[in-house]
Every structure is written in structure tokens, then in C-alpha cells.
Amino acid sequence: MQLGWIGLGNMGVPISLNLLKAGYSVTVFNRTASKASELIEAGAILAQSLEELVQSSDVIFTMVSDDEAVKDLYFSKGLLDSAKKGQVFIDMSTVAPSTSQQVYAAAKEKGIGFVDAPVSGSVAPAKEGKLLVLAGGEEETFNSVKELFEPMCKMSIYLGESGSGSNAKLAINLLLGITVQGIAESVLFAEKQGIQIEDMLTIINESAVGTAISKMKTPAILKDEYPAAFALKHMAKDLRLAKETGELNAIGNSAYHTYKDALDGELGEMDVMAVIKELRSKK
């Protein structure tokens, strides 16, 4: 299978590298061509245009920043216009379910397969090939490309009709946002009562509520440094999409407003754990 990959951000590069390591032929395209240098060294082919990439690929992956970027790519830039009947497009972006359904409908009209397949996991799992793929669309189409997910993930789950993958991604990121905010609030509460942050993090990590995410974020909290593994701006966007998609309850609404305030407070380029800085500023 000839593969195409569009969008070489923090996640796109390591996922594409894993596809190359698995022996697939991968053609890549990115607005900033220099971001493809590592992939080219690993054997990828750099397309000079979207049309060139589509024409040379059987399956095309897209992974861009948001709904606007997805719509621009598939509609304004005419990605589907140059597609051939029988090709499959897999969008791994985190977007509103309605956006996935819109692209699916346009692709179906042209006899083109489309799967929404966002992933749960950040840069480290992407490098290790341990992401979780959440897929929506026609089951037959999903089954035809399922093997392509194996080099990048520990599991791929088919969830139902178009938009189901996007819905599941918003749901898991809602829990992630709540969990990270909960860790931050627990640490700040303990600190205010005279408990050392390091001790409180040990208690969290060694207790029944300790999680992979609490252990992963402990070094950042102790250093009070938050280089982005999963940028806070993306969490704020995902919680906004969740709120727009369906009614949030009390804790979800709290998380939505907290991350929105953190984004407004110019913490968006930092890691999601930088929400602790927003909460500390309100003490």
C-alpha cells in the first residue's frame, strides 16, 4: 500500500516514522517543507503539492490542528477533488464530530472512503507506537485499513458511524482535562496546608488514585516547568468542542472555564499541566 501523510506536527512526524519503520512507502506533504527533513532521511518521499501526494497514494492520512484546518484542507484546498474512487482518507485530527461527518459525506459522494481516527496519547506514546486509535466511519472501510494502525498504536477501536471516533476523543480528553485539573487542585490544597509538593505527589502516585498521567506530570510540577507534550491550547480547544457538542455537567464545565482562563492568560503554548499556574494565580 502506498501511503500519504499530510501534517507534520509534533505527532505527525513520529507516527510517520513508525510507518516507515514498518516497511510502508510514505509520501509526505507539509506547508513548511523543512519539517519533513527527518522523514526524508528515513526514506519518505516529499511531495511538492497536495495533488501529487494524492495521486501517488492509496491511503492518505491527515493530521492538522483544528476544524478550520481540516475544512480548509479537504474543501478550500480541494483535497477530495484530486482523489480517485476507491481511495481511503484517514483523518487523525481532533475535531468536532460534525466536521468528521461533513468530510465523510463529501467523500462518500465521490466513492471515496473516509475514517475519522483521532488518537489518545501524546508525543512519547507516538514515538513508542503506543497510541490508542479511536475510529468512526463505515466498518468495511475501517477493516480495510486497520493493519495500518498497528505500527502506531497498542490498540485501534472501531466505535461506529462517522463522527464516533471524534466523539470518543472529546470524551477521553474531557476526562484528561478533569484529571489534570484535579491533580493541580490537590497539590495546591496540600501546599496551602503546609504539605510539601513532593510529598503530596508521592501520596498521589502511590495511592489508589495514582495514574499514568499523575506520574508522567510529576517532574514538571516539581520543577515548575511545563514544556508542551500536549499543549494547553489544544485542551482548551477540545473542551470547547465537547461543550459545543453536548451539555457538560458540573466538573466538565469547571474544567472548560479553567482551561479557557488559562488560555486567555497566555499559557496556551505550555503543557496542559500548566493549568496549575492558572489555579495558583487565583489562590
* Residue 169 appears among annotated catalytic residues: yes
Q: What is the pLDDT of residue 80?
A: 94
Average pLDDT over residues 140-148: 98
Do 67 and 136 belong together in one domain? yes
Do 178 and 263 belong together in one domain? yes
Last residue of a domain, one of 161, 184, 202: 161
For 244-283, b where at least 16 C-beta lie within 10 A, e where not — what string?
ebeebeeebeebbebbbbbbeeebbebbbbbbbbbbeeee
Do 66 and 155 belong together in one domain? yes
Q: What is the pLDDT of residue 282?
A: 85
Do 106 and 11 belong together in one domain? yes
Grid cell in block for residue 48? 511538492
Average pLDDT over residues 159-167: 98
Do 9 and 54 belong together in one domain? yes
Label residue 283 by pLDDT band (50, 70, 90).
low
How far, in Å, CA of 255 to CA of 147, rounded?
36
Rounded to a whole number, what is the largest CA-CA distance in the chain?
A: 65
CA dihedral 217, 152, 56, 138 (to 10 degrees): -100
Q: What is the pLDDT of residue 70?
A: 97
Q: Give the global pTM.
A: 0.94
For 181-233, what is each residue's pLDDT tens digit? 999 999 999 999 999 999 999 999 999 999 999 999 999 999 999 999 899 99
Q: Which residue in 169, 233, 237, 243 is the catalytic one? A: 169
CA distances from 173 to 255, 265, 267 (A): 11, 21, 18
Label residue 256 by pLDDT band (50, 70, 90).
very high
Last residue of a domain, one of 140, 161, 182: 161
Residues 171, 157 contacting (CB under 8 angstroms): no
CA distances from 62 to 7, 27, 29, 74, 192 (A): 6, 12, 10, 10, 45
Do 122 and 186 belong together in one domain? no
User: Domain holding 48: CATH number?
Assistant: 3.40.50.720
For 16-44, what is each residue's pLDDT tens digit? 999 999 999 999 998 888 899 999 999 99
Do 146 and 249 belong together in one domain? no
- For residue 182, what are the β-bridge partners? none
Averaged confidence pLDDT in the chain: 96
Domain count, the chain: 2
User: Domain holding 198: CATH number?
Assistant: 1.10.1040.10
Last residue of a domain, one of 161, 195, 224: 161
State the alpha helices, DSSP H only, in 73-208. 97-109, 123-128, 139-145, 164-192, 197-206
Q: φ and ψ at 265, to 5 degrees?
A: -85, 15
Label residue 94 by pLDDT band (50, 70, 90).
very high
Grid cell in block for residue 283? 489562590
Label residue 53 by pLDDT band (50, 70, 90).
very high
Do 53 and 176 belong together in one domain? no
Q: How many residues does the chain have?
A: 283
Q: Which residues contact 251 (CB under 8 A, 6 or more apart)?
A: 178
Structural domain including 155 reads: 2-161
For 224-250, what is each residue's pLDDT tens digit? 999 998 999 999 999 999 999 999 999
Q: What is the pLDDT of residue 30?
A: 87
Q: Is the pLDDT score of 48 beyond 90?
A: yes
